[in-house]
Structure 1
């Protein structure tokens, strides 16, 4: 697992006009190739009257799957530039279709490359991009006398509290990035003189959107 990566959480649409040709970029999050293909087909049906519906997608934490299509445009002038934008921005598990309505003026090879790449950038600007971090969901059980010290440690390290439960003791669950796990566990044990109970529950990716924490459990 990689420690973190960027992905599209909510897709968006961007548009530009170049020499009267209209380029519409539609971005969509996808989890597998089947979803990517389905999204591309639905875009083609929606824009059935367009000159071209070019596409690109990247799937996997390490971009194991990469595909692109020029859909009738001259080779390497549409799909590849679109794919290059996704890879250049470091965005994973995402697909994009750029729809072109031909305006009557040829753009040339360089013009097409710039137009398709720029359209994808416009689409990404209007999408919600998140950073997924690989973490451990860590359970901490302590008493009321020590919870303040633990909360101080978490605040110092900007560790997200996922949930909490206050009864005769205090139970909290936190999301700890992998690289910070051992240091945090050591700090909690030292601060509480070993009185706090720590338990690693599971591993997952999470992202923070404004004040909300979203977990992506497999």
Structure 2
């Protein structure tokens, strides 16, 4: 094959890969409801709880509730991932041998390419040591089982903004938010109104242009 043609094919392939990656960054996968699953091995019982979260504080609240629900469990191991930049995650073995619980759980979250998701696996001791390979398999399997019964959805990546406007502009602002499929997070409707909204990343330029065209409307990005 001609070298120029080979280079052109490679450039075309690389461009398609880049465009695909850019497109994928406009969306992410997550869950919107809680689920549970159970796994047993040589007397030990492992119960997995998967639930959606937005912040680390959301997770801490759920973890405390599970600890109250299972006060006699010997371990409450967990992992979570938050956000779309890949930097906000945590895992814990909660007293199990290092690397036998939290990492296998996080591995199942990542194998599904999920974010804004947490999994807690509660263990009740069964009287028999499972060993490192057995523990890794147990926590991995339990986390995998809970995702088999948890609906996974695709959501748009949204950037958060506040919109401040006079009440007379209400219909115009709401029409734009609806047109671009924006999420209304909070709203204060008085003579002078404020809406906190999530604007889809792939519609950001268009929606901001339309909003800023309106008179007496202030749009600010939430950092």
TM-score (norm: length of structure 1): 0.62
User: Which blocks of at least 5 consecutive residues in structure 2 are unaligned?
Assistant: 1-21, 160-174, 183-199, 213-221
Q: 1:40 Cα deviation (Å)? A: 1.2
How many residues were matched structurally? Answer: 155
Match of 2:69 among 46, 53, 71: 46
Q: Greater strand percent: which structure?
A: 1
Matches within 5 A, 1:1-218: 2-134=25-157, 173=179, 175=181
Question: Could you tell me how far apart the structure 2 residues matched to 1:16 and 1:200 are?
Answer: 53
Question: Could you tell me how far apart the structure 1 residues matched to 2:38 and 2:130 are?
Answer: 17
User: Which blocks of at least 5 consecutive residues in structure 1 are unaligned?
Assistant: 137-163, 165-171, 186-198, 203-217
Question: Could you tell me how far apart the structure 2 residues matched to 1:134 and 1:96 are?
Answer: 22
Q: Is the 8 A contact 1:8 1:127 kept in 2?
A: yes
Change (3 A) 1:135 1:46: closer
Question: Could you tell me how far apart the structure 2 residues matched to 1:178 and 1:53 are?
Answer: 36
Q: Is the 8 A contact 2:180 2:203 kept in 1?
A: no
Q: Is the 8 A contact 1:11 1:126 kept in 2?
A: no
Q: 1:178 Cα deviation (Å)? A: 6.5
Question: Could you tell me how far apart the structure 2 residues matched to 1:58 and 1:130 are?
Answer: 16
Change (3 A) 1:67 1:200: same
Deviations 1:90-109 (A, max 9, x none): 00001111001111111110
Structure 1 residue aligned with 2:10? none
User: How much is the aligned-residue C-alpha RMSD, in angstroms?
Assistant: 2.9
Question: Could you tell me how far apart the structure 1 residues matched to 2:51 and 2:158 are?
Answer: 25
Change (3 A) 1:3 1:49: same
Q: Greater helix percent: which structure?
A: 2
SS at match of 2:179: strand
Question: Could you tell me how far apart the structure 2 residues matched to 1:83 and 1:48 are?
Answer: 24
SS at match of 1:92: coil
Q: Is the 8 A contact 2:36 2:48 kept in 1?
A: yes
